[in-house]
């Protein structure tokens, strides 16, 4: 639903049909947030207009980590449509610029990043590797997937084949 590092932040469940974006939270963890809630958050969220230097800093530094917007938790098995897959990940994952993926959790282990996206070919990538700014549409929030227990020798690489 939400990585362990997002559990102490304000959070809510995803709704079908809404647009979400990956965001770096104050915990340094990547998770989903509604861009509308991000812009409605206090000015530190980086959406309020400012002077030239403030706008330049926002352009260089990316979305603020100090947002008051809630983390949006997505159940394993939910279907997400990526609206614009970053070029740097397209070749690695062999995906199209716009593709439907499954949200999953790679482990039930505590204190490990577990939120990931699964492609049709079975490759999984942790949200931590995706980084901030990936825009998705929630197609379905069904719980068709299960969290698999991690084997003791599990390699927590950021991209893996299933």
- Tell me the per-residue pLDDT of 48-99, one tens digit each, with 9 for 90 and over: 455 566 556 555 555 544 457 899 999 989 999 998 888 888 878 888 888 8
pTM of the model: 0.71
CA distances from 134 to 73, 89, 127, 154 (A): 15, 11, 9, 27
What distance in Å separates the CA atoms of residue 93 and residue 67, rounded to the nearest whole number? 30
| Confidence at residue 59, expressed as pLDDT on a 0 to 100 scale | 56
Strand partners, 49: none
- pLDDT score, position 66: 46
Predicted confidence at residue 57, as pLDDT, reads 55
Which has more confidence, 19 or 60?
19
Q: Is the pLDDT of residue 45 over 50?
A: no
Tokens 């104050």 belong to: 26
Residue 93 phi, psi (nearest 5): -95, -10
pLDDT at residue number 36: 86
| Mean pLDDT of all residues in 16-31 | 89
Domain extent at residue 56? 4-161
Q: How many CB atoms lie within 10 A of CB 88?
A: 9
Ramachandran angles phi, psi of 154, nearest 5°: -60, 135
Residues across the chain: 162
Cα angle for residues 6, 8, 13 (degrees, 5° grid): 60
* Mean model confidence pLDDT for the chain: 76
The residue ranking higher by pLDDT, 100 or 147, is 100
Token digits for 1?
A: 């639903």
Q: What pLDDT is attached to residue 20?
A: 94
Q: pLDDT at position 144, please?
A: 52
Rounded mean pLDDT, 32-40 = 83
pLDDT at 43: 45
Number of structural domains in the chain: 1
């Amino acid at each position: 639903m939400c990585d362990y590092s997002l559990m102490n932040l304000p959070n809510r469940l995803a709704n079908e049909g809404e647009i979400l974006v990956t965001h770096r939270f104050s915990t340094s963890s990547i998770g989903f947030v509604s861009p509308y809630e991000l812009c409605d958050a206090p000015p530190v969220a980086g959406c309020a207009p400012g002077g030239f230097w403030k706008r330049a800093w926002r352009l260089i530094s990316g979305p603020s980590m100090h947002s008051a917007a809630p983390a949006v938790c997505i159940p394993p098995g939910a279907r997400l449509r990526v609206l614009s897959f970053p070029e740097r990940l397209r070749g690695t994952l062999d995906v199209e610029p716009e593709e439907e993926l499954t949200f999953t959790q790679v482990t039930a282990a505590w204190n490990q990043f577990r939120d990931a996206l699964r492609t049709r070919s079975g490759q999984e990538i942790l949200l931590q590797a995706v980084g901030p700014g990936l825009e998705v549409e929630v197609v379905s929030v069904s719980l068709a997937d299960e969290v698999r227990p991690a084997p003791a020798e599990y390699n927590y690489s950021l991209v893996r084949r299933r």
